[in-house]
Amino acid sequence: MSSNAERDFVTAHLDDLHADLDAWLRIPSVSADPARAGDVAASAQWLAQALRRTGFPVVEVWPTAGAPAVYAEWPSADAGAPVALVYGHHDVQPVDPEEAWTYPPFEPTRVETPAGPELHARGAIDDKGNVAFHLLGMRAHLAATGRDTPAVTVKLLVEGEEESGSPHFVELLHERRDRLDCDVVVVSDTGMAAADVPSAVTAMRGLADAEITLRGPGVDLHSGSFGGAVPNPLHAMASLLAGLHDESGRVTLPGFYDKVRPLTERERALMGRVPFDEAAWLAGPAASRAATGEAGFSTLERVGARPTAEVNGMWGGYTGPGHKTIVPSEAHAKVTFRLVADQVPSDLAEQVRAWVEQHTPAGIEADVHVPAGGVSPCASDLDHPAMDALLRSIGQAFDVPGEDVLFTREGGSGPEADLVEVLGAPLLFLGAGLPTDRIHAPDERVLLPMLHRGAEATAHLWRELATVPFAGR
């Protein structure tokens, strides 16, 4: 690789990044576990101290009705400089089942691999690693440019409840709207297609969920005396869920595709440029025997650009040792839906209820619970000049021209659409994760050279964004 001032500084200070992660990853900031509330608060305090140590003159811990968020700001001394807001989160997923981890989840462990050194721990990439590289990236930007303040005003908002659905995030955005005003939002909670494929995420899917309960007999019944003569809720649930997709892999909810924005030829062509080895994907991160899904779309399109429905859990009756010969009184299922551009999470409640009503047999009573809210899909403007600045920054970190940086889509969901709606700013994604990082799974890890490149890319980004003609500046 070639040399530049930003890279030279990052390379000379990698131990600082590694030490920060070693300390931060030891804090078990699991927001979904009420018993870990103190740890989530400790994680926020750790980040606040790290930001002050980096040099941010404004650092605050913002309380919410749930877990605290961390806010920081470093104003540029340049009159009229653009304002960039970085979003991330400091909470992490639960570690269950802990016995499936090769190394203790909250004792960061460095592992040498043919691809380079990996760091194993919960939160190593999702999202503490993606946030931590900004600490080194800011220092590299200042050192490389000889500045005392960044070329753009940089704000950070790092929430503590993303892994719990960000239940208080929108309220926080409205409460602190005046402090969060910005020209561009930079999300660091994503990744790239591969370690040797510099790429930028351009869209994230939305999310809605539902819980379905089917009730039959008033009590569990003896299967010998009543089986075959009364409706079995588990049979009905199995049939219901089996019909969630048609023979072409399309979701059968009425109206589900009515608002789906079709992929353009340009979008499909851009996704088609991303190298993808389906056999390696199946054998590796997917850990599956076959690829499947909606007919007429590639695997990358299915996981990043098409809406889906997944059964997350189904239960009822007796599941203990041996046999209990019953017709169960109830059956339950949890289902989630990933949404794409122009779909609205609130539409799912009516669609799910209509679908369940159409497929509930006589003698079965159905109850559908669809929580309010959900997560809206979001997308970047590929033609905004800030996107060119991002591509140039990533390209410099990978020693390729900006036009060689590929576009990908993130199949997961987060509160990015809320940021866009409340703040009214264009959206960029800069993350260093890889499909092999096992986020949300045992043995989460990050390839450390990716974090190093993330730090360099963000150092370039503040310089590049300063040249963007944002409206009103």
pLDDT digits (tens, 9 = 90+) for 420-432: 999 999 999 999 9
Task: Give the global pTM.
Answer: 0.90
Q: Phi/psi at 310 (nearest 5 deg)?
A: -135, 135
Read off the amino acid at residue 138: M
| Mean pLDDT across 394-420 | 95
Terminal CA-to-CA distance of the chain, rounded, Å?
Answer: 36
Mean pLDDT along residues 449-460: 98
pLDDT (average), residues 23-45 = 98
Burial environment of residue 264 by CB neighbours within 10 A (0 to 12, 13 to 18, 19 or more): exposed
* Mean pLDDT, range 335-348, rounded to an integer: 95
Q: What is the 3-class SS of the chain, one letter each residue?
A: CCCCHHHHHHHHCHHHHHHHHHHHCCCCCECCCHHHHHHHHHHHHHHHHHHHHHCCCEEEEECCCCCCEEEEEECCCCCCCCEEEEEEECCECCCCCHHHCCCCCCCCEEEEECCEEEEECCCCCCCHHHHHHHHHHHHHHHHHHCCCCCCCEEEEEEECCHHHCCCCHHHHHHHCHHHCCCCEEEECCCECCECCECEEEEEECEEEEEEEEEECCCCCEEHHHHCCCCCCHHHHHHHHHHCCECCCCCECCCCCCCCCCCCCHHHHHHHHCCCCCHHHHHHCCCCCCCCCCCCCCCHHHHHHCCCEEEEEEEEECCCCCCCCCEECCEEEEEEEEEECCCCCCCHHHHHHHHHHHHCCCCCCEEEEECCCCCECCEECCCCCHHHHHHHHHHHHHHCCCHHHCEEEEECCCCCHHHHHHHHCCCEEECCCECHHHCCCCCCCEEEHHHHHHHHHHHHHHHHHHCCCCCCCC
Provide the pLDDT confidence category of residue 413 given band limits of 50, 70 and 90: confident
pLDDT, tens digit, 9 for 90 and up, residues 110-163: 999 999 999 999 999 999 999 999 999 999 999 999 999 999 999 999 999 999
CA 224 from chain centre, in angstroms, equals: 49
Q: What is the pLDDT of residue 245?
A: 98
407 with 397: CB under 8 angstroms?
no
Burial class (CB in 10 A: 0-12, 13-18, 19+), 170: middle
Percent of the chain with pLDDT over 90: 96
Q: Region 422-444: what's the mean pLDDT?
A: 96
Say whether pLDDT at 11 is over 90.
yes
363-381 pLDDT tens trace: 999 999 999 888 899 999 9
- Band (pLDDT 50/70/90 cuts) for residue 1 is low
Among 64, 52, 50, 53, which Cα is nearest to 21's? Answer: 50
Instruction: Give residue 3's pLDDT band: very low, low, confident or very high (50, 70, 90).
Output: confident
Chain Cα centroid distance, residue 470: 27
The mean-pLDDT minimum among 2-6, 58-62, 224-228, 273-277 falls in 2-6
Look at residue 42 and tell me whether its pLDDT is greater than 80.
yes
What pLDDT sits at residue 373? Answer: 83
pLDDT of res. 244? 98
Q: Which stretch of 33-37, 280-284, 352-356 has the lowest confidence by average pLDDT?
A: 280-284
Average pLDDT over residues 298-316: 96
Distance, in Å, from the CA atom of 352 to the CA atom of 368, rounded to the nearest integer, reads 8
Between strands 365-369 and 206-215, the pairing is antiparallel
- Where do the domains of the chain lie, and which CATH numbers do they carry? 5-204+377-465 (3.40.630.10), 206-260+307-369 (3.30.70.360)
- CA dist 429 and 86 (Å) reads 9
237-278 pLDDT, tens digit per residue, is 999 999 999 999 999 999 999 999 999 999 999 999 999 999
Average pLDDT, the chain: 96
- pLDDT of the residue at 471: 84
pLDDT band at 351 (very low <50, low <70, confident <90, very high): very high
Mean pLDDT (whole number) for 181-193: 97
